[in-house]
Chains A and B, each alone.
Chain A
Amino acid sequence: MRAPLSWLRALTPLSAEAGDRSSVVELASELDSLGLVVERTEWVGEGLSDVVLARVLEVAPIKGADRIRRVVVDRGGGETTEVVCGAWNFEAGDVVVLAPVGSVLPGDFRMERRKMKGVVSNGMLCSGRELRLSEDHEGILVLARPGSEAPHVPGFTLGTPLSDHLGMSLDVVFDLAIEPNRPDCLSMLGIARDLAAHYGLPLHTPEPRVTEGERPAVDLATIEIDAPELCQRLLGRVLTGIRPAPSPLVVQRRLILAGMRPINHVVDASNYVMLELGQPNHPYDLALLGGGGLRVRAAHPGETIVTLDGATRILGGRERRDDDLLAGLDGLICSANDVPVGIAGVMGGHSSEISEGTGQVLLEVARFSALAVGRTSRHVGLRTEASIRFERGVDPEGMERAADRFCELVVDAAVAAGVEPPVVARGLVEANPRPFERTNLTLRPPRVNALLGLSLSAEQMMDLLRPIGYEITDTREGADGGTRPADGAGVEQVPVIVPSFRPDVTREVDVIEDVARTYGYRRIPKSDRRSPYVGKLDELQRLRRRVRRVLAGLGAHEAWTSSIVDPAEQQLAGVTRSLIPLSNPMVAEESVMRGGLLAGLLTALRHNAGHRNPWIRLFEVGDVFGLAGGFELVTAPEEGERVALVLARQNDDAGAAVNAWRVVADAVGLEGIEVTQDSDGTENLGGLHRARSGLLVVASPDTLAGVPHEPGELAPGTVLGAVGEVDPDVLAAFGVPHDRVGWLELHLDRLVGAPRRAELARPVSRYPSSDIDLAFSVDESVPARQVEAVIRTAAGDLCERLELFDVYRGAGVPEGRRSLAFRLRLVALDRTLTDAEVAEVRRRCVDSVQAALPATLR
Chain B
Amino acid sequence: MNNTLKVAKWEIQRNIKNRTFLISILLTPLIMLIFAFIPTLLTKLETDKSFDLYLVDNLGIYENITQSPSLGNVNFILTTENRQQLEDKVRTNKDQGFVIIDDTVLEKGQITIYTDTEGQGNLAPAYTVLQSVLHNYKLRTSGLSDNQIQYINQPLTISTSSIETKDIEKTLPEKAVPAIFAGILYFTIFTSGTMTFQSALQEKKDKMVELVLSSIKSEDLMQGKILGYFVLGLIQIAVWLTFGIPIAQIYFKLPILQYLLVPELIPMAFFALAGYLMYSSIFVAIGSTMEDMQSGSSFQGTVFLIPMLPVFVIGPILANPSGIIALFGTYFPLTAPGVMLARLSISGNLPLWEILISAVILLATIFLIMRLAGKLFRVAILMYGKDASFTEVIKWLRY
Do A and B bind? no
